[in-house]
């Protein structure tokens, strides 16, 4: 599947999309959703906090029938629905409009908390960030809060492609210190990704997917 190739036109963000392709593709083999009912109440939620690289996300949504493949040919065109950042008001299957770094994870924490408060504990919330995005302080406020209230329905996926200009050290160890069940996997290993997504803990889960 190389649907990304159909959506050329934003070359500077192609690398961001290719680094997340397997990560998102495998996730949608695990998540519960219904493309015929994007607002299905019992669905799992996915928020692409790394919203400046949406092509892989769009390709996976096409693969699962949320909208026709022809939309990829209109990526960033005036007559299309697919922008350089995902827009929940225009694109079926998009849970949150993202792109401003550091916003997606705090939103995901709020969604997971609200679902738990309403008794929808089985509905999981997945959110994907980049390693450089973790330089935003709002992420660590969200990470601290999620750990302190034990959001077991929340899974953070960090795509670590060494794009951070700040030396991060062990991201998994940092997340574990905040009360998360954190593990590092090969972001190109589909079996390892699937096993990581299927695992649940007593608190929030973090998967650091290394993609080099």
What is the reported pLDDT for 9?
46
Where does residue 198 rank: exposed (0-12), middle (13-18), buried (19+ CB within 10 A)?
exposed
How many CB atoms within 10 Å of residue 3?
17
Task: Give the separation between CA 95 and CA 123, rounded to whole angstroms.
Answer: 14
pTM of the model: 0.93
Q: How many domains does the chain have?
A: 1
User: Which long-range contacts does 61-65 make (Cβ < 8 Å, 24+ apart)?
Assistant: 61/35, 61/91, 61/92, 61/93, 61/94, 62/3, 63/1, 63/3, 63/25, 63/28, 64/28, 64/33, 64/35, 64/93, 65/35, 65/36
Task: Give the separation between CA 81 and CA 5, rounded to whole angstroms.
Answer: 17
CATH number of the domain residue 34 falls in:
3.40.50.970
What range defines the domain where residue 72 resides?
3-210
What is the reported pLDDT for 164?
86
> Given CA atoms 111, 114, 116, 122 in this order, what sign does their dihedral have?
negative
What is the reported pLDDT for 6?
56
154-160 sheet: strands from edge to edge: 45-48, 125-130, 154-160, 205-210, 181-186
**How far is the first Cα of the chain from the last one, in angstroms, to the nearest whole number?**
20
How many CB atoms within 10 Å of residue 112?
26
Q: What is the pLDDT along the chain (212 residues), one digit of tens a residue?
A: 555 555 444 444 566 777 899 999 999 999 999 999 999 999 999 999 998 889 899 999 999 999 999 999 898 889 999 998 999 999 999 999 998 889 999 999 999 999 999 999 899 999 999 999 999 999 999 999 999 999 999 999 999 998 888 888 999 999 999 999 999 999 999 999 999 999 999 999 999 999 98
């Amino acid at each position: 599947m190389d649907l990304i190739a159909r959506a050329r036109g934003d070359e500077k963000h192609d690398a961001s999309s290719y680094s997340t392709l397997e990560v998102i593709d495998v996730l949608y083999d695990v998540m519960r959703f219904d493309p015929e009912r994007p607002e299905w109440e019992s669905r799992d939620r996915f928020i692409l906090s790394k919203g400046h690289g949406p092509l892989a996300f769009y390709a996976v949504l096409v693969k699962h029938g949320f909208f026709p493949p022809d939309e990829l040919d209109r990526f960033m065109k005036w007559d299309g629905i697919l922008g350089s950042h995902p827009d929940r008001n225009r694109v079926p299957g998009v849970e949150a409009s993202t792109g401003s770094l550091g916003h997606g994870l705090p939103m995901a924490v709020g969604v997971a908390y609200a679902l738990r408060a309403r008794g929808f504990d089985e509905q999981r919330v997945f959110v994907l960030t980049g390693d450089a995005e973790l330089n935003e302080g709002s992420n660590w406020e969200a990470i601290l809060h999620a750990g302190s209230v034990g959001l077991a329905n929340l899974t953070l996926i960090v795509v670590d492609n060494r794009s951070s200009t700040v030396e991060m050290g062990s991201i998994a160890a940092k997340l574990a210190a905040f009360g998360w069940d954190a593990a590092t996997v090969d972001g190109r290993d589909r079996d390892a990704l699937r096993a990581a997504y299927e695992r649940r803990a007593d608190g929030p889960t973090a998967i650091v997917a290394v993609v080099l």
